[in-house]
Amino acid sequence: MFQTKRTIEFSMCDTAGILFFSRVFELFHSAYEEFIQTGDLEIDYFKFEKYAVPILKIEADFKAPIKLHETLNIAISVTQIKDSTFELTTNLIDENDMIRAVVKSVHIFVNINDFSKTDIPNDILQILLANQD
Give pLDDT, residue 109. Answer: 95
Q: Report the CATH number of the 2-130 domain.
A: 3.10.129.10
Give pLDDT, residue 133. Answer: 81
Give per-residue pLDDT as tens, 85-123. Answer: 999 999 999 999 999 999 999 999 999 999 999 999 988
SS3 call for 51: strand
pLDDT averaged over every residue in the chain:
93
Q: Give the residue extent of every domain in the chain.
A: 2-130
Report pTM.
0.91
Q: What is the mean pLDDT of residues 27-49?
A: 84
Is residue 25 over pLDDT 90? yes
Give per-residue pLDDT as tens, 50-69. Answer: 889 999 999 999 999 999 99
The CB density around residue 51, as the number of other CB atoms within 10 Å, is 21
The CB density around residue 22, as the number of other CB atoms within 10 Å, is 9
Instruction: Give the CA distances from residue 33 to residues 7, 29, 64, in Å, rounded to whole numbers and listed in that order.
Output: 17, 6, 25
